[in-house]
């Protein structure tokens, strides 16, 4: 009799233990949903446009502040220029200057030394970079500015040690800008030209 009771109790405990177990979690559940990465906004690519008029090389306010008292010399190729093929065996400078598309000169007729010359044109980037390297060897100070490279030298006019001349070259992509100024004050002129060309 005791044996039957013990067997019955053992069966109850065994069944009770099975009934109390929680079902195993399903292994078919998928991975947690992923938050999509924010879309990247592409950086706009600015295309260079070389002005065809000297009065359009900067915005009107900058032009008035820089050239209001100095007239534009409208002669000898000033303004739009048709590029010409460089001569055989041309130097880097000659190759660069053959690509001029705009030439402008401002000259104060009341002063022997108050003038500014500007040229803008195109050149293959590798030739332009090689030319700037030559300028650095010639004593120009070169640095990366305005998403391009600028080389500049300040010194006396040959034969007139008391007169200061500033020569500036700037290359960005395939466009170069040259500014030659003699006792001609400017403030942010290169930046204004760059903004106008790459707008």
Tell me: pLDDT of 19 over 80: no
- Cβ distance 172 to 148 under 8 Å? yes
Per-residue pLDDT of 117-170, as tens digits, reads 999 999 999 999 999 999 999 999 999 999 999 999 999 998 999 999 999 999
- Cβ distance 103 to 81 under 8 Å? yes
Percent of the chain predicted with pLDDT > 90: 65
Beta strands in the chain (DSSP E): 79-80, 100-107, 115-122, 141-145, 148-157, 160-172, 175-182
All residues at 6 or more sequence positions from 97 whose CB lies less than 8 Å from its CB, including other chains: 119, 121
- Domain ranges within the chain, ordered by starting residue: 69-185
Q: What is the dihedral of CA 58, 62, 63, 64, to 10 degrees?
A: 160
Per-residue confidence at 69, pLDDT binned at 50, 70, 90? confident
Q: What is the dihedral of CA 154, 156, 157, 161, to 10 degrees?
A: 170
Q: What is the distance between the alpha carbons of residues 98 and 141, in angstroms, rounded to a whole number?
A: 24
Per-residue pLDDT of 155-184, as tens digits, reads 999 899 999 999 999 999 999 999 999 999
Residue 53 CA from chain centroid, whole number: 23
- Cβ distance 104 to 54 under 8 Å? yes
- Cβ distance 117 to 180 under 8 Å? yes
Task: Name the class of domain 69-185.
Answer: alpha beta
pLDDT at site 6: 39
Lookup: tokens for 95: 């190759």
């Amino acid at each position: 009799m005791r044996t039957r009771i013990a067997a019955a109790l053992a069966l109850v405990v065994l069944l009770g233990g099975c009934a109390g177990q929680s079902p195993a979690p399903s292994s078919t559940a998928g991975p947690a949903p992923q938050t999509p990465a924010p879309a990247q906004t592409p950086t706009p690519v600015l295309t260079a446009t070389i002005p065809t008029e000297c009065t359009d090389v900067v915005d009107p306010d900058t032009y008035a502040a820089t050239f209001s008292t100095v007239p534009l010399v409208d002669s000898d190729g000033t303004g739009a220029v048709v590029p010409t093929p460089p001569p055989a065996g041309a130097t880097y400078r000659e190759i660069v200057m053959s690509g001029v598309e705009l030439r402008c000169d401002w000259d104060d007729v009341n002063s022997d030394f108050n003038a500014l010359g500007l040229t803008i044109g195109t050149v293959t980037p590798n030739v332009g970079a090689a030319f700037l390297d030559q300028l650095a060897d010639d004593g120009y100070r070169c640095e990366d500015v305005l998403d391009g490279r600028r080389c500049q030298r300040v010194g006396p006019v040959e034969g007139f040690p008391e007169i200061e001349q500033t020569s500036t070259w700037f290359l960005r992509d395939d466009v170069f800008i040259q500014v030659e100024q003699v006792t001609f004050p400017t403030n942010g002129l290169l930046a204004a030209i760059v903004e106008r060309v790459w707008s």
